[in-house]
Amino acid sequence: MRSADALSDLLVRGTDRSERLTHVEVVPPRQGTKVPWPEWAPPVLVDAWRASGIELPWAHQVQAAESAHAGRHVVLATGTASGKSLAFQLPALSAVLAGRRSNGRRGASVLYLSPTKALAQDQLHGVAALKVPGLAACTHDGDSPREQRDWARDNAEYVLTNPDMLHHSLLPGHARWARFLSQLQYVVVDECHHYRGVFGAHVALVLRRLRRVCASYGAEPTFVLASATVAQPEVSAARLTGLSVEAVTEDSSAKGQVSLGLWEPAFTSHEGENGAPVRRAATAEVADLLADLVASGVRTLAFVRSRKGAESVALTAGRLLDEVSPGLSAAVAAYRGGYLPEDRRALEAALREGRVVGMAATNALELGIDIAGLDAVLLAGFPGTRAAMWQQVGRAGRNGADAMAVLVARDDPLDTYLVNHPDALVGTPVEATVFDPGNPYVLGPHLCAAAAEIPLTEDDLGLFGPNARAGVDALTDGGLLRRRPAGWFWTDRRRASDLADLRSTGGRPVDLVEASTGRVIGTVDDASAHSTVHEGAVYLHQGESYLVRALDLDDHVAVLERADPDYFTSAREVTDIAIVGEDTHRPWGDARLAFGSVRVTHQVVAFLRRRLPSGEVLGEEPLDLPERTLETKAVWWTVPDHVLEGTGIAASDLPGSAHAAEHASIGLLPLFATCDRWDIGGVSTALHPDTGRLTVFVYDGHPGGAGFAEHGYRLAEEWLTATRDTIASCRCESGCPSCVQSPKCGNGNNPLDKDGAVRLLDALLGSR
Ligand SMILES: [Zn+2]
Ligand SMILES: [Zn+2]
């Protein structure tokens, strides 16, 4: 057992690193609260958990289980390793056992949903380990053989699947699942904070379809949701299910002291775009820290964004360790996607038994990892949300022992802001999960799918929200639905569920075809194809780099091949934005903040080849691609001329000032709206024709919007203040990737005026 102090000393020992540690936050230990098992819990289940080492449950587990048992919808939002599974397995398995009739017939079923296949498989292992006599449990996913699917339909009591399978398979084929659905008593929605943005909107509508189909079989299942610690889990859970949901948020599990260090890498001697200073990569820094910790025998897990990054961290750390003592590199491993469950279990066992001491994993795999009780966790970059960050930090702490975590900032505005503003991480509650089930672009396909499942009636429309009526009318006018006395019918020959892909953002995706093999290696969203897989683009797919030979827009195919060029590419685009309608606004003195509908017009006109890793421009090539339009939602702010005059910004610097403010605000919005900076876009101009003023827009990058811009509008004060502070406090001279430069800028980060952006935002915020 190590004390937190000893661990932090280790980090900064004998180096000049102490300057990089910007803050250490100590989260005090917590004494756990155990309570008796509920009286209704069947002895066979209690015995099974006792045999696995759980003598008594934590209070929050029983609180959530009691609500579910009483038939009340409930969401349990507590930390990692707080035993959320037990809280839903207890009522669910109890119902299955209680539902069994004396004649052996099955009478209650449970549907478990997780965002990934891997997690559903892990859950199945967990349920199987309880050895409930005769329990008929199985997964239902894209890999399940036909016999298993048939068996599940006819016999299963506990089916573990994902929203995609529910959407494409279970609901369209509900008649064959009639036995299972008519007995459905619990729907478990695990890791429900993953359902955000457009994906969240899709899942919300799939769950409404599930409720409607169940109701047609006379079943009204109780929903039990499990979430990471997020703000207002009951609000997100209610929006996700369309039901009123109770929340259990008090974590009563025991936890050791955790020290969270915030770490800002130093500037390097490299020069970036437009001569900007560049910080050392978070992955390089994490590899160093991982090597030091492993050399001292500290069990450490490092979270890295990409698979390639995880492998390079493990490799670099291994090389450093071999320098200390040849052979020591064997103590470090990479844990990555594509591994079979057996391989993952073997690696987890190696870590538990101490044969492996350090491991580097991708964020994406976080869900599938079954390791609790490490000494330290390293994060190469903020994982996107505070909820996800605490989830990863929560991996540290063995049996209530002290643990340490370090968040190493990447060179971008959000990470830079966070390591310099610890209050934003620890003082404030974590963010709420943002999504909008009312998005007409998402709603339409689900109304079609619902009508194909069971014709839609007037009474059904309420379930699908206030936009459902307009949606159904538009689909009827468009010939997709047919109105008959008994309701709206789907009469098309296609499968209605094929109209929506839950993980895509609309439009037909572009297939990525490998030239040498003809194999489809993946797809790219229609919306981003022009800028990412144009002819000549270097495209990264699962950590491998490819060179795009051709993009065929008619057939939605990009032909590419494996290549390792010493450059990367970035697209140049021309973007215009027009205001279609303002939904709401509020004055800030003479400045003005608004939210509404916009039409964004993009055209990718050229691309740059840039040397790796410096980004130095090697050449520019024109592209001949058509214009595209996006109807979406945006938040925008305007500042009138007389206010601008008071800022002292020269007229010629206004475009660069607005542009810099726009970039930084896009970088910071994810802190407030659970989005990724790639989910949103922006346009800034010193004079916009629709407003007649200097205007900065930030818009949702998905048709119809995803709720992010709306969230920005609601939290504009906090969001734009954080934006201003990020720019002002950055120690660079005139703009860098940590403040105003953006990796996705269609104008090559030009013009940008760092100082002007601060003055502009001061004028805007000062007008309130
Ligand atoms: Zn900077
Ligand atoms: Zn830009």
Tens of pLDDT, residues 132-163: 998 999 999 888 888 988 988 989 999 999 99
Say how many Å lie between the CA of residue 747 and the centre of ligand 2: 5
Cis before residue 613, ω within 30 degrees of 0?
Answer: yes
CA–centroid distance, residue 412 to ligand 1 (Å): 9
533: CA distance to ligand 2 center in Å?
20
What is the per-residue pLDDT for 177? 96
Q: Which residue has the higher pLDDT, 758 or 711?
A: 758
Residue 618 exposed, middle or buried by CB count within 10 Å (0-12, 13-18, 19+)? exposed
Q: What is the distance in A from the centroid of ligand 2 to the CA of 687?
A: 16
Length of the chain equals 768
Per-residue pLDDT at 540 exceeds 60: yes
Structure confidence at residue 336 (pLDDT): 64
- Distance (angstroms) between ligand 1 centre and the Cα of 731 equals 6
Ligand with minimal distance to 278 CA: 1
Whether the predicted pLDDT of 398 surpasses 60: yes
Q: Which ligand is nearest to the CA of 734?
A: 1
Please, which pLDDT band fits residue 1 given cuts at 50, 70 and 90? very low
CA of 746 to the centre of ligand 2 (A): 6
Contact 160, 117 (CB under 8 A): no
Q: Which of the two residues, 613 and 751, has the higher pLDDT score?
A: 751
What pLDDT, on the 0 to 100 scale, is given for residue 568?
86
Percent of the chain with pLDDT over 70: 93
CA atoms within 13 A on the CB side of 136: 19
d(CA 751, ligand 2 centre) in Å? 8
pLDDT at 16: 66
Distance 730 CA to ligand 1 centre (A): 5
Q: What is the pLDDT of residue 474?
A: 93
- Does 736 score more than 60 pLDDT? yes
Q: How many CB atoms lie within 10 A of CB 216?
A: 14
What is the average per-residue pLDDT within 549-571?
91
Residue 317 to residue 376: CA distance in whole angstroms: 15
Return the SS3 of 111.
strand
Q: 318 CA distance to ligand 2 centroid (A)? A: 39
Mean pLDDT of 9-34: 81
pLDDT above 90: residue 217: yes
Residues 669/713, Cβ–Cβ less than 8 Å: no
- Which of the four pLDDT bands, split at 50, 70 and 90, describes residue 250? very high
Output the CA 750–ligand 1 centroid distance in Å: 15
Q: How far apart are CA 355 and CA 339, in angstroms?
A: 19
- Among 206-215, 276-285, 482-491, name the one with the lowest average pLDDT: 276-285
H/E element, 512: strand 510-514
Q: In terms of Cα–Cα distance, which of 523, 551, 534, 448 is closest to 746?
A: 534
Cα distance between residue 159 and residue 138, in whole Å: 5
Proportion of the chain above pLDDT 90, given as a percent:
62
| Burial 62-86, CB ≥16 within 10 A → b, else e | bbbbbbbbeebbbbbbbbbbbbbbb
- Compute the distance from residue 697 Cα to the ligand 2 centre, in Å: 12
DSSP-assigned letters across all residues of 572-600: EEEEEEEEEEEEEEEEETTEEEEEEEEEE
The pLDDT of residue 684: 97
pLDDT of residue 671: 87
Query: How large is the average pLDDT for residues 659-670?
Result: 96
Q: Which residues sit with Cβ closer than 5 angstroms to ligand 2, an ion?
A: 745, 747
Residues lining ion ligand 1 (Cβ < 5 A) are: 730, 732, 736, 738-739
Burial class of 315 by CB neighbour count within 10 A (0 to 12, 13 to 18, 19+): middle
Averaged pLDDT score across all residues of the chain: 90
* Closest alpha carbon to 204 in 118, 142, 113: 113
Ligand nearest to the CA of 658: 2
Please, which pLDDT band fits residue 118 given cuts at 50, 70 and 90?
Answer: confident
Report the separation in Å between the CA atom of 735 and the middle of ligand 1, taken as the mean of its atom positions: 4
**pLDDT above 80 for 270:** no
Q: What is the mean pLDDT of residues 46-67?
A: 97
Residue 691: predicted pLDDT = 97
Q: Each residue of 433-487: pLDDT tens digit?
A: 888 888 888 899 999 999 999 999 999 999 999 889 999 999 999 999 999 999 9
CA of 662 from ligand 2 middle (Å) equals: 8
How many A from CA of 299 to the centre of ligand 1?
Answer: 35
Cα 411 to averaged position of ligand 1 atoms, centre (Å): 9
Query: Three-state SS string across 343-376, please?
Result: HHHHHHHHHHCCCCCEEEEEHHHHHHCCCCCECE
Which DSSP symbol is given to 105?
A: -
The stretch 484-500 carries a mean pLDDT of 90
Q: Which pair of tokens denotes residue 635? A: 């938040």
* pLDDT, tens only, 271-281: 777 788 888 88
Q: Which ligand is nearest to the CA of 698?
A: 2
Find the ligand nearest to 570 CA. 2
pLDDT of residue 2: 55
- Between the CA of 411 and the centroid of ligand 2 the distance, in Å, is 17
Burial tier of 622 (Cβ tally within 10 Å: 0-12, 13-18, 19+):
exposed
pLDDT at site 365 = 57
Mean pLDDT of 656-669: 97
**How high is the pLDDT of residue 419?**
93
CA 673 – ligand 2 centroid, Å: 21
pLDDT for 366 beyond 70: no
